[in-house]
Chain A
């Protein structure tokens, strides 16, 4: 019989202290007599949130096991408070067949640190030329519902239209990496005053916004579900706000959007160091963009926080900016960044955090039968215990990820994940992997 846990004096979503019993994979009443024999965790001062759900993770396996594996990536996820991650399709080979998505799904089950839901590629080989077998991936054991060419934009308007139409047959969603390719050839950083000064090719906001504008109109036209990955500009927030207003009246289509922790905290000024630890796609933007994203996340225009956790081996960052890979780690720091930027600033309460980091991403990914549930009696015991009063200085060496490319090295961040439970089993206890 598996261990059961009696969590004492825990504040569910920041509410009044209570006791929770995690037993047989579900949440039971802490006052229940069956709590006898349970391992007791004193959770005084800790907050209970539903296990976090990441809609945007790069686990790198298969193909780049030097950067991350499903096992190490899900270990990092567990340490960050996640009980489910959606693994992006840009692996080698690309996750564009039932075989590859089932492999990733199976590796996740074997690792056991959190549930892995593979994202299927929209187009064969991410080449943007013809649709991958989306139906086969949807029907596979991995039950894929989220499709994305992330890393590349489905830039062809007809192909995007067809993808949006086709996924309606199995309640899928197309998660678009919004980047007009011609406007961003060779792009290295946010296009603005600083890119001109640093001599780094610019990635203009319009390249993201033009695709979002097109895609929301396509989603409306064909009556489908669009999800916008890693929104990074104030203009994108404005467009999505407008689109959501239209969709709310119509109800035959929908648009959802995600923001990444790094876009809520860091700005393009960091590129002046020429240190590619700050190189990411879409790039770090201006302080005004950061403020617009935070406001959008607070008012629900941006539905979720997704990490875009992107591990890279040291040599791909220990070089000149233009030669470096795009991307940064995110799973183990996301909740702290959200606390710092959204909670400690009064923009979101803990219920809002649970919605943005667990319930909403689970709904978008169609996994809310198991994840993103309320922390309540009878629900699956996917729970994270978090100490918002703790602080820590980020040390990349402590990461469970195989990679070390965190932009927060040396920064003091609030909060600490104390424990993570996946269906009642502790994946993290006292901040340590189990």
Chain B
């Protein structure tokens, strides 16, 4: 593994499968009465969040704590975009506190890349979502979830599996990271969106693209719905929320066209009634809550592997 996790493209297939298999070991911890390992005792993990994201922050926090790391939460309200403290000065402050890993969420694409490559900090940098760029740990937890359901938790388990990613691909860091990671793992990805919500140049991505949800989902093994943010509705990307839901929302009627084994995913937070209806979100096919559980295990694996725990994560108790 590289020293930083900035993009899903940083992971080779071996790296990615090592994260998944490590996460599988760590996930079993969740079923034990005492959920804590000493693997990162004495190490400091800083959660540096320039954007509100309670679910991602507490997931990283739980992951670090279960590995016995010391956790500092740094909610940097107002980035240098809004003339608060600059990213650089914040980074220097954290460096002075002796952080071993910085988990960063930032509204500007590439901010974690700057943090890792500008000589401001020596610690490992984990991208916890940057602008409309990437969210690699989300892609890892999504892959982990698919791997358990569709790949028998074995190496190569996602080879040839068909994944539909549906919605606002243009602004989605989740879609970018998933497209990259799933390709690395051998799955076939189809992006489904109205043309206005697909990035220029998407034809060069290692994915299929479709404007027609009904044509794609009957063949899919997993259907991942993306959130459509409220501000997009005013941006003229589609005429109305109702039209969007009719054409690109997953409802009970569409769910009935899925194969028996097909799972429904969502990175959260959901807009129920917009991209997904309540009956789908709460159905047996939905693995949305499990994704959250898996998120902690995957982030434990990432922190453990990046911080170079030399002893096995599980069973290495002193």
CB-based contact B108/A323 at 8 Å: yes
Chain B residue at minimum C-beta to C-beta distance from A202: B200
Distance A193 CA – B206 CA, assembled complex (angstroms): 12
Chain A residue at minimum C-beta to C-beta distance from B203: A193
CB-based contact B114/A195 at 8 Å: no
Chain B residue at minimum C-beta to C-beta distance from A195: B200
The residues of B that contact A398 with a CB separation of less than 8 Å are none
Stretch from B53-61, B94-102, B130-138 that touches the partner: B130-138
Apart from the given pairs A193-B204, A319-B88, 11 other A-B contacts in the complex at a CB distance below 8 Å: A192-B200, A192-B201, A196-B199, A196-B201, A275-B114, A275-B117, A319-B87, A320-B110, A321-B108, A321-B111, A322-B110
Q: Does residue A198 face the partner (Cβ distance < 8 Å to B)?
A: yes
Q: Does residue B43 face the partner (Cβ distance < 8 Å to A)?
A: no
CB-based contact B110/A274 at 8 Å: yes
Q: Does residue A413 face the partner (Cβ distance < 8 Å to B)?
A: no
Interface centre among B81, B87, B108, B117 (most CB of A within 10 A): B108
Q: Does residue A197 face the partner (Cβ distance < 8 Å to B)?
A: yes
CB-based contact B200/A320 at 8 Å: no
Q: Does residue A315 face the partner (Cβ distance < 8 Å to B)?
A: yes
The residues of A that contact B173 with a CB separation of less than 8 Å are 199
Given A198-B133, A199-B173, A199-B176, check contact A320 B201 (CB 8 Å): no
Q: List 21 A-B contacts (CB under 8 A).
A: A193-B200, A195-B199, A196-B200, A197-B199, A197-B201, A198-B110, A199-B109, A199-B133, A199-B134, A199-B176, A200-B131, A202-B200, A273-B117, A274-B109, A274-B113, A274-B114, A319-B87, A320-B106, A320-B111, A321-B108, A323-B108
Given A198-B110, A199-B134, check contact A318 B88 (CB 8 Å): yes
CB-based contact A322/B108 at 8 Å: yes
B90-126 contact mask (Cβ, 8 Å, vs A): 1 or 0: 0000000000000000111111011001100000000
Distance A273 CA – B6 CA, assembled complex (angstroms): 12
Distance A313 CA – B161 CA, assembled complex (angstroms): 51
CB distance from A205 to the nearest CB of B (A): 11
Instruction: From B79, B80, B117, B202, give the contact of A196 (CB < 8 A).
Output: B202
CB-based contact A323/B113 at 8 Å: no
Instruction: From A197, A273, A322, give the contact of B131 (CB < 8 A).
Output: A322
CB distance from B48 to the nearest CB of A (A): 13
The residues of B that contact A193 with a CB separation of less than 8 Å are 200-201, 204
Q: Does residue B259 face the partner (Cβ distance < 8 Å to A)?
A: no
Instruction: From A194, A274, A319, give the contact of B201 (CB < 8 A).
Output: A194
A190-223 contact mask (Cβ, 8 Å, vs B): 1 or 0: 0111111111111010000000000000000000
CB-based contact B200/A323 at 8 Å: no
The residues of B that contact A191 with a CB separation of less than 8 Å are 200
Distance A273 CA – B106 CA, assembled complex (angstroms): 17
Q: Does residue B229 face the partner (Cβ distance < 8 Å to A)?
A: no
Q: Does residue B86 face the partner (Cβ distance < 8 Å to A)?
A: yes
8 A Cβ contacts from A145-202 to B? 188, 191-202
Given A195-B199, A199-B173, A274-B113, check contact A319 B80 (CB 8 Å): yes
The residues of B that contact A204 with a CB separation of less than 8 Å are 200
CB distance from A405 to the nearest CB of B (A): 15
The residues of B that contact A315 with a CB separation of less than 8 Å are 86
Chain A residue at minimum C-beta to C-beta distance from B50: A320
Distance A183 CA – B109 CA, assembled complex (angstroms): 20
CB-based contact A318/B134 at 8 Å: no
The residues of A that contact B130 with a CB separation of less than 8 Å are 199
The residues of A that contact B88 with a CB separation of less than 8 Å are 318-319
CB-based contact B110/A200 at 8 Å: yes
CB distance from B227 to the nearest CB of A (A): 16
Distance A191 CA – B205 CA, assembled complex (angstroms): 15
Chain B residue at minimum C-beta to C-beta distance from A185: B235
CB distance from A318 to the nearest CB of B (A): 6
Distance A318 CA – B115 CA, assembled complex (angstroms): 11
Chain A residue at minimum C-beta to C-beta distance from B198: A196
The residues of A that contact B176 with a CB separation of less than 8 Å are 197, 199
CB-based contact B132/A199 at 8 Å: yes
Chain A residue at minimum C-beta to C-beta distance from B6: A274
8 A Cβ contacts from B256-296 to A? none
CB-based contact A322/B109 at 8 Å: yes
8 A Cβ contacts from B154-207 to A? 173, 176, 199-202, 204-205
